[in-house]
Amino acid sequence: MLRTSRSFCLLSFAIQSVICLAQQPQQPQPPQPLPTPAMTGPLQTAPPFAFDAGPFGKLDLTGVISGIGLVQSNHVPGDETAQADLSNGQVFVQKTEGWWQFYLQAGAYNIPILGTPFLSTADTISDFWGPLPVAFLKLVPTKAVSILIGKLPSLIGAESTFDFQNMNIERGLLWNQENSVDRGLQVNGSFGKLTASFSWNDGFYSNRYSWLTGSLAYAFNAANTLSFDAGGNLGQTAFRTSATPVQDNGSIYNLIYTYTKGNWIIQPYFQFTDVPTNQKIGILQGAATRGGALLVNYNFPHHLSLAGRGEYISSTGTASEHGVDLLFGPGSGGWSLTVTPTFQDHAFFVRGDFSLVQATRLTPGNGFGQSGTNRNQARGVIEAGFMF
């Protein structure tokens, strides 16, 4: 009888303990980083600062501020051996709940690109997308469908536009064939393992709405995804600026495989572009490019990571027939190697790029050095800042 009474007491105590624990208030989960802006890694955005904006509801605020320094060999006329500037001074404000949402990205930015002269941050802002490079309204009629209207990140390519989004500080040779920010309308849909997006836009920021782009991504599982994206100009555009090069009159196709598991990100992709002959707008002989790249990142302990990128690209055409220049002159080609070690501890980060570009074929005057005849350019880049 004593053993039965003791067992009953222990059982009653256990039940009461479970009930007491269930009635205790749950600890709130800490805020998680937001999916926009998209981050490939290894850098991670900070959890957002949420605030009440009255009729707009709850808004989230994040941002990045960083500086960059660069040294290079064989600089071209107008460039310098050493450069330094503000690489990012941006804030991101967004509404992520409800049937209508929005995203605003404002501030200063720099877009360092392999094989091209370094452009100051002030000139980058004025020559490209202004102090509000990305801004869109997002309508969410269902959980599986969304509609974006405004200044949008391009659907094309494996690398994103802004340096903090990517494995490497500098954008690559293949990225330089792609549009980056366009204005228009985009429809997104998610159907199980398949994600699809289609956009009607102005291509290379031409303000001529004649481009159609699309992206299909199939996730085999949590680690493996295969994507195909493509776009092209359905009309013709004689308009030219720094943000609207001759590629605005062409088409582009990318096949991208992404493996993400544990400490690894592995991303090979292939690219094909074509700019057809169109003498009405000054393209006397068209050209195409073919290229491939491999991007890899590994995260070590103690906030360290190491990323690498290798790529090769070649173009068709001849200088004697006034072919369009898509790289280092008509019919040119080249490859690059980039290694990027990164350290990030909470908000602070510091990383470096060590890169080499070699033109395998070039038109004299379109290469590196003061005479444009050197085939090689080496660069060392360091960037440090805070994700807040």
Q: pLDDT tens digits, residue range 206-259?
A: 999 999 999 999 999 999 999 999 999 999 999 999 999 999 999 999 999 999
Q: What is the pLDDT of residue 239?
A: 94
| Cβ-based neighbour number of residue 205 at 10 Å | 24
Total domain count for the chain?
Answer: 1
What local confidence, expressed as pLDDT, does residue 21 receive?
40
Residue 320 placed within a domain:
yes
Q: Give domain status of residue 2, yes or no.
A: no
Of the candidates 380, 388, 387, which has an alpha carbon nearest to the alpha carbon of residue 68? 380
Average pLDDT over residues 187-200: 97
Please, which pLDDT band fits residue 41 given cuts at 50, 70 and 90? confident
Which parts of the chain fold into alpha helices (H)?
Answer: 2-23, 121-127
Domain that holds residue 254: 32-387
Q: Which amino acid is at 167?
A: M
pLDDT at 28: 57
Q: What percent of the chain has pLDDT over 90?
A: 89
What's the pLDDT tens digit per position in 96-146? 999 999 999 999 999 999 999 999 999 999 999 999 999 999 999 999 999
pLDDT grade for 29, boundaries at 50, 70 and 90: low
pLDDT for residue 4: 44
Q: Is residue 77 part of a domain?
A: yes
The CATH number of residue 345's host domain is 2.40.160.10
**Structure tokens belonging to residue 6:** 């003791």
- Indicate whether 351 belongs to any domain: yes
pLDDT band at 32 (very low <50, low <70, confident <90, very high): confident
Question: pLDDT-based confidence at 24, cuts 50/70/90?
Answer: low
> E strand or H helix at 315, and its extent?
strand 304-315
Round to whole Å and give the CA distance between 79 and 85: 14
Residue 15 has pLDDT above 70, yes or no: no
Angle formed at CA 18 by CA 14 and CA 22, multiple of 5 degrees: 170
- Determine, yes or no, domain membership for 19: no
Is 22 part of any domain?
no
Q: Report the pLDDT averaged over residues 322-338.
A: 96
Please check whether residue 17 lies inside any domain of the structure: no
pLDDT at 18 over 80: no
For 60-88, write each residue's pLDDT tens digit. 999 999 999 999 999 999 999 999 999 99
Query: Is 45 contained in some domain?
Result: yes
pLDDT of res. 141: 97
The pTM assigned to this predicted structure is 0.89
DSSP single-letter state for residue 36:
-
Rounded (10°) CA dihedral 55, 130, 171, 65 = -60
Q: What would the mean pLDDT of 153-160 be, rounded to a whole number?
A: 97
Mean pLDDT computed over every residue of the chain: 93
Question: What pLDDT does residue 177 have?
Answer: 97
